[in-house]
Amino acid sequence: MNPDLRNLIALQDTELKIASLQKQISDIPKQVEAYHQELLRLEQAHQARVVQLQEDTKHRRTFESQVDMMRARLSKLKDQLMMVKTNKEYTAMLHEIQMAEAQIRQEEDKILEIMEEMESLEASLKNDARELKARTQEIQKSVQACQSSIPELEAALAGLRDEKARTEAIIESELLARYRRIAELRKGVALAEARDELCTACHVRIRPQVYAELLGTEDIHSCDSCSRILYLREPC
């Protein structure tokens, strides 16, 4: 393989690694923020259940207070029932007692529904508290790992930049300029492997003559379709 082409391949590999590391470093604040947002959502969901339980407790007390008043009224009605003197009054009073008893049963049903909901919420809160504690610890470890990885990533990035500078220094200037123009147009990928008579970047077939020259010479050729510099992978 043409030595300059081999150096270009090494340069592109280095630059792609640099781009990958730069993305990792730039993504760390976003990842940390995502962790914080997840923790906030978990805490808010847990707090919403706490508030709901408090509201249910208030409603239960309200209904229980209402039932107590209804029972007191019912007791008075029953006392009055013993004092009526006519069948008409007795029938009317008995109907009123039955209505009061039905209303008490309705209110007691509401209390039972609230108690069931409270029982379910209390179980959920206990489970949530365990999960929240465990996930909080996991998130704190993940955030710490993200933040502690920055110096190592930056050191690796600095090493790659030094390697890039050394490689650029040994590439012929016109070829390097050509590489730069193509890379700028092709999102940093100026070289493409030629395989099975295809450009692996754009998947367009390479002209037979060009492919034959790639196989038999050290000349540098470009893909007619995407303009990337073509190369054949050397056997391991």
**pLDDT tens for each residue of 27-43:** 999 999 999 999 999 88
- The answer to the question of residue 23 being in a domain is yes
Instruction: Check whether residue 219 and residue 166 sit in a common domain.
Output: no
Nearest CA to 221 among 202, 199, 196, 189?
199
- On whether both 122 and 200 belong to a single domain, the answer is no
**Residues 125, 14 within the same domain:** yes
Q: Domain check: are 206 and 121 in the same one?
A: no
**One domain, residues 109 and 183:** no
User: What does the mean pLDDT of the chain come to?
Assistant: 91
Q: What is the CATH number of the domain that holds 131?
A: 1.10.287.1490
83 pLDDT higher than 90: no
Tell me, yes or no, whether 194 lies in a domain.
Answer: yes
Cα(109)–Cα(122) distance, integer angstroms: 20
Tokens of 23: 């993305």
Q: Which domain holds residue 214?
A: 176-231
Same domain, 150 and 218: no
154 and 79 within one domain: yes
Whether residue 149 is contained in a domain is answered as yes
Q: Which residues pair with 192 in a beta bridge?
A: 230
- Same structural domain, 151 and 207: no
| Per-residue H/E/C for the chain | CCHHHHHHHHHHHHHHHHHHHHHHHHHHHHHHHHHHHHHHHHHHHHHHHHHHHHHHHHHHHHHHHHHHHHHHHHHHHHHHHCCCCCHHHHHHHHHHHHHHHHHHHHHHHHHHHHHHHHHHHHHHHHHHHHHHHHHHHHHHHHHHHHHHHHHHHHHHHHHHHHHHHHHHHCCCHHHHHHHHHHHHHCCCCCEEEEECCEECCCCCECCHHHHHHHHHCCCCCECCCCCCEEECCCCC
**Tens digits of per-residue pLDDT, 144-157?**
999 999 999 999 99
Q: How many domains does the chain fold into? A: 2
**Structural domain ending residue among the three candidates 171, 198, 223:** 171
Output the pTM of the full model. 0.68
User: Are 154 and 190 within one domain?
Assistant: no
Q: Of the candidates 171, 193, 215, which is a domain's last residue? A: 171
Does the pLDDT value for residue 236 go beyond 80? no
Asked if residue 42 is part of any domain, the answer here is yes
In a domain, 1, yes or no: no
Q: Which amino acid is at 102?
A: A
Q: How far is the C-alpha of 137 from the C-alpha of 139, rounded, in Å?
A: 5
